[in-house]
A and B are shown apart, each in its own frame.
Chain A
Amino acid sequence: MNDLDAEDRLRFEQLVLPHVDAAFNLARWLLRRREDAEEVAQEALLRACRFFRGFHGGDVRAWLLQIVRNTCYSRLEKDRPRELMVEFDEELHLQPVATPESIAIANNDRERLTRALEALPSRFREVIVLRELEGCSYKEIAAIMSIPIGTVMSSLSRARRQLCLALADSSCKEAVREV
């Protein structure tokens, strides 16, 4: 895997490694499993290292997150049959990741937010994570997700509305439960 010479490796360490947190955070929210996130983030970083010669300056975080995103989606695609089987097997005694009910019964705000975010469709989850948690500009999000800036804006708008609704819904249920 060491295709890079010493100089490139140093550049990679200086430019790319500061964004390991960003890579992990995006993988964690896209995969919705903390356990898988470390493995996939590592895979993405090693891919980034392989592709590093092709990186000719510009926004290194956006470049890296694009690779992380692709790695996550290939992983999800690969795991899909397994996931479906697991869900089928465990349907009888396990709750899916997040439902309006599970959001409602979460016992603190952090848990409630986590579940609501995890319940969003992946594209919506992605724009929220990139904008709200990672602080990316629309231009960066557009580059990372390979979509037009207009689509970033409309996706964010819909994602936020869904998130607000899920949270409002859960607080209503919470209120009812408390009564």
Chain B
Amino acid sequence: MRCDFGDSLLSGYFDCELSAASAAKFERHLQHCAECAGELVELDILSGRLQLEQLYEAAPPSLRKKIRAKLRPVTPTTAMPRQLLWHWLAAATALLVLLIAGWRLSSALHSDDYRAELAAEIVDAHVHSLQQGHLIGINSNDGQALKGWFRGKVTFAPPARDFANDGFALQGGRVDVLEDRSVAVLVYTHCRHSINVFIWPTRERDTSPHAGSLQGYQWIDWREGKIEFCAASEAPAADLQQLQRLFAE
């Protein structure tokens, strides 16, 4: 046996979707109907179970990556003049040789494990920041305002500078956690790409920039004046290098 009156309104009442008048009417009914009262509890238990077991399945990271890749404008190879293609190929080969040489050289100089782990964390943090609401803690392009905001949140003063004139507009900052410590993050935009610059104090000596890419994202890391910087973005590596030079100036 089911209560006919309650049947049509119970779900709406439970979801707070009834008009005030209907809700009041249903509440009056609820005082006398043990059946509806019991069913309301059951709905609550069901809802709780569904939430508790986290049946919500988030998209795998590969999906976001694939969609972003498809959104990028692609120049069709066939339309490319032959001569230009050769130039590209030559440039790509040269770049590859450089990359290999750079990689061999740098692997001798740097601890690869540290870099690989750091890069993975940085790229993860970058991807996470692109999700809604995670990118910016404070919206400002004013270095002083940002420094003030970071005071008390991190143990050092991150060098917040706007490079809008050079095409890297400072959007703001936030605090993130990297390798179990709080780091300052400055967020720039450049040609519709977001660039996260993660900044934290270090005891190591200065190093020249060290760059790499992971899962389609580029990163560049350097140390200067007891501060370590690592920028990550889907922007081309050359853009990150330009930003690095601006920081170093």
Residue numbers of A with Cβ under 8 A of B are: 1-2, 4, 6, 9-10, 12-13, 17-18, 20-21, 23-25, 28-29, 34, 37-38, 41-42, 45-46, 49, 109-110, 113-114, 117, 128, 131-134, 137-138, 153-154, 156-157, 160, 163-164, 167
The answer on a CB contact under 8 Å between B17 and A138 is yes
Q: Are B67 and A17 in contact (CB under 8 A)?
A: yes
Can you pick out 9 interface pairs between chain A and chain B where the beta carbons lie within 8 Å of each other? Answer: A2-B71, A9-B192, A20-B67, A24-B59, A46-B67, A109-B53, A113-B50, A133-B50, A167-B46
- Minimum Cβ distance to chain B for residue A34 (Å): 7
CA distance A28 to B52 in the complex (A): 19
Q: Are B66 and A42 in contact (CB under 8 A)?
A: yes
How many Å from the CB of B239 to the closest CB on chain A? 16
Q: How many residues of B contact A (CB 8 A)?
A: 37
Contact partner of A6 among B52, B57, B60, B192, CB < 8 A?
B192
The reply to whether the CB of B63 lies closer than 8 angstroms to some CB of chain A is: yes
Residues in A neighbouring B7, C-beta threshold 8 A: 157
- Chain B's closest residue to A13 (CB) is B71
CB distance from A59 to the nearest CB of B (A): 14
Q: Which of B57-81 contact A (CB under 8 A)?
A: 57-60, 62-64, 66-68, 70-71, 73-74
Asked if B236 CB lies within 8 Å of chain A CBs, one says no
Interface majority SS on A: helix, strand, loop or mixed?
helix
B17: chain A residues within 8 A (beta carbon): 137-138, 153
Q: In the bound complex, do residue B71 and residue A133 qualify as a contact, i.e. CB atoms below 8 Å apart?
A: no
B226 at the interface (CB under 8 A from A): no
B102 contacts A by Cβ under 8 Å: no
Query: Is A157 touching B71 in the complex (CB atoms < 8 A)?
Result: no
- What 7 pairs across the A-B complex have the smallest Cβ distances? A24-B59, A18-B132, A157-B11, A110-B53, A21-B58, A156-B11, A133-B56
Contacts of B67 in A (CB 8 A): 17, 20, 42, 45-46
Chain B: which residue is nearest A117 at the CB level?
A: B55
Query: A20 contacts which chain B residues (CB < 8 A)?
Result: 59, 63-64, 67
Closest to A111 in B: B53
One of A9, A113, A157 near B49 (C-beta < 8 A): A113
B165 contacts partner chain A, Cβ-Cβ < 8 Å: no
* Mask: chain B, 36-53; 1 = CB below 8 Å from A; 0 = not: 000000110011011111
Residues of A within 8 A of B225 (CB): none
Asked whether any CB of chain A lies closer than 8 Å to the CB of B186, the reply is: no
A59 to B188, CA, bound (A): 28
Q: Check B31 for interface membership: any CB of A closer than 8 A.
A: no
Give B116-156 as 1s and 0s: 1 = Cβ < 8 Å from A's Cβ atoms.
00000000000000111000000000000000000000000
A113 closest partner in B (C-beta): B53
B71 contacts A24, C-beta separation under 8 Å: no
Known contacts A17-B64, A156-B11, A157-B8; 16 further A-B pairs (Cβ under 8 A): A2-B74, A6-B73, A13-B68, A18-B131, A20-B63, A20-B67, A21-B58, A28-B57, A29-B57, A110-B54, A132-B47, A138-B12, A138-B17, A157-B7, A157-B11, A164-B43
